[in-house]
Amino acid sequence: MRAPSTAEIAAGQVLLAVEDISLAFGGVKALTEVSFEIEKGEIRAIIGPNGAGKTSMLNVVNGFYKPQQGRIVFKGVSHSEMEPHEAAASGIARTFQNVALFKSMTTLDNIMAGRTLKMHRGLFWQILHVGPAAEEEIEHRRKAEEIIEFLEIPHIRRIPVGRLPYGLQKRVELGRALAMEPDLLLLDEPMAGMNLEEKEDMSRFVLDVNNQFGTTIALIEHDMGVVMDISDRVVVLDYGRKIADGTPDKVRDDPDVIKAYLGVSH
């Protein structure tokens, strides 16, 4: 059976449901019975103190980690585990906390690489590199250029990304994820290590992606100002358990969340 396309899932309906996920590495419990839902079209923040299991959660969603228990329902199709390339093919894109770009490739090539799954010409045409393969290359180049334009990085198109400053690398990584035209975009600390101006730029891009492309976004972020400003709903994890879930205002006043972040007087 074909998975229902995102067009069939209306905005506001559940795009991704994480159900009862438990993940342990040996004796260390990274996640314990975590469940939450992400609705189509929203910006969902995942927050929590260091070591709360936020990144592990994203790794489960896009198939790097295989949970011992629980399942992931994406676009109405249930998976107990998924390979990363299957997750990519079904429409989940991701950026990393520590930039994971292809360092010796140019910005353009990095973004073009993000379109690999959309390119279908086989080895024969690749070898000839005329006709259909060349046309396909140009068609995707056009898409890549749109993304470069959107992220305001045309000036670094030809520069190997290893030579770029950190803030721009983060932006290129977002570009590579966008090139996949994902239905769900997972951002792991997109603003870590940035100054205020860069954070504002990145927040603007995240909001624009959400508005213009209708991409559903799940992001991990430590900057509470950013989280409260741009996210629609927030999940809070602590020691691998979900301790709160709801709108930013509701979460902010939750006593468990305050306890997790600030500790409690005894």
Partner 1 sequence: MFYREAGQFKTSYAADQAIFPIVQDRIFVLLVLLAAYIIPPVFLGSYWFNAILIPFLIFSMAALGLNLLVGYCGQLSLGTGGFMAVGAYASYKLTTVIFPDLGMIFIFLLSGLVSAAVGVVFGLPSLRIKGFYLAVATLAAQFFLQWLFNKVPWFYNYNSNGTIESPPRSLFGTIMEPGGMLEALSFLNPLVTSPRATPVTKYLFALTLVVVFALIAKNLVRGRVGRAWMAIRDMDIAAELIGIRPMQTKLLAFAISSFYCGIAGAMLLNLYLNSAETLAFGINISFEVLFMVIIGGLASILGSFLGTAFIVLTPIFLTNALPAIGLPLDTAGQKHVELMMFGGLMIFFLIVEPHGFARLWQIAKEKLRLWPFPY
Sheet holding 14-25, edge to edge: 28-39, 14-25, 69-74, 77-79
Least distance between partner 1 and beta carbon 160 (Å): 10
**Torsions phi, psi of 130, nearest 5?**
-130, 175
Please state, as a whole number, how many other Cβ atoms lie within 10 Å of the Cβ of residue 221: 25
- Asked whether position 114 contacts partner 1 by CB under 8 A, the answer is yes
Of 221-250, binders to partner 1 (CB under 8 A) are none
Q: Which stretch binds partner 1 (CB under 8 A): 17-25, 44-52, 96-104, 238-246?
A: 96-104
- Asked whether position 180 contacts partner 1 by CB under 8 A, the answer is yes
Q: Report the residue from 10, 11, 119, 196 that binds partner 1 according to the rule CB under 8 A.
A: 119
CB 236 within 8 A of CB 229: no
- Asked whether position 100 contacts partner 1 by CB under 8 A, the answer is yes
- Asked whether position 109 contacts partner 1 by CB under 8 A, the answer is yes
Please state, as a whole number, how many other Cβ atoms lie within 10 Å of the Cβ of residue 208: 13
Q: Report the residue from 19, 96, 213, 256 that binds partner 1 according to the rule CB under 8 A.
A: 96
Q: Which is nearer to partner 1, 84 or 225 (CB)?
A: 84
- Asked whether position 104 contacts partner 1 by CB under 8 A, the answer is yes
Q: Is the dihedral of CA 116, 117, 121, 127 positive or negative?
A: positive
Q: Is the dihedral of CA 184, 250, 224, 32 positive or negative?
A: negative
Of 52-91, binders to partner 1 (CB under 8 A) are 62, 64, 84-85, 87-89
Q: Which is nearer to partner 1, 14 or 105 (CB)?
A: 105
- Asked whether position 101 contacts partner 1 by CB under 8 A, the answer is yes
- Return d(Cα 209, Cα 55) in angstroms, integer: 22
Q: Report the residue from 1, 26, 28, 142 that binds partner 1 according to the rule CB under 8 A.
A: 142
Q: Which is nearer to partner 1, 177 or 257 (CB)?
A: 177
- Return d(Cα 55, Cα 212) in angstroms, integer: 27
Closest C-alpha among 68, 83, 81, 87 to residue 21: 68
Please state, as a whole number, how many other Cβ atoms lie within 10 Å of the Cβ of residue 162: 11
CA distances from 181 to 16, 87, 177 (A): 17, 13, 7
Q: How many chain residues touch partner 1 (CB under 8 A)?
A: 39
Which residues of this chain interact with partner 1, rule CB under 8 A?
62, 64, 84-85, 87-89, 93-94, 96, 100-105, 109, 112-114, 116-117, 119, 121, 123, 126-129, 133-134, 137-138, 141-142, 145, 176-177, 180
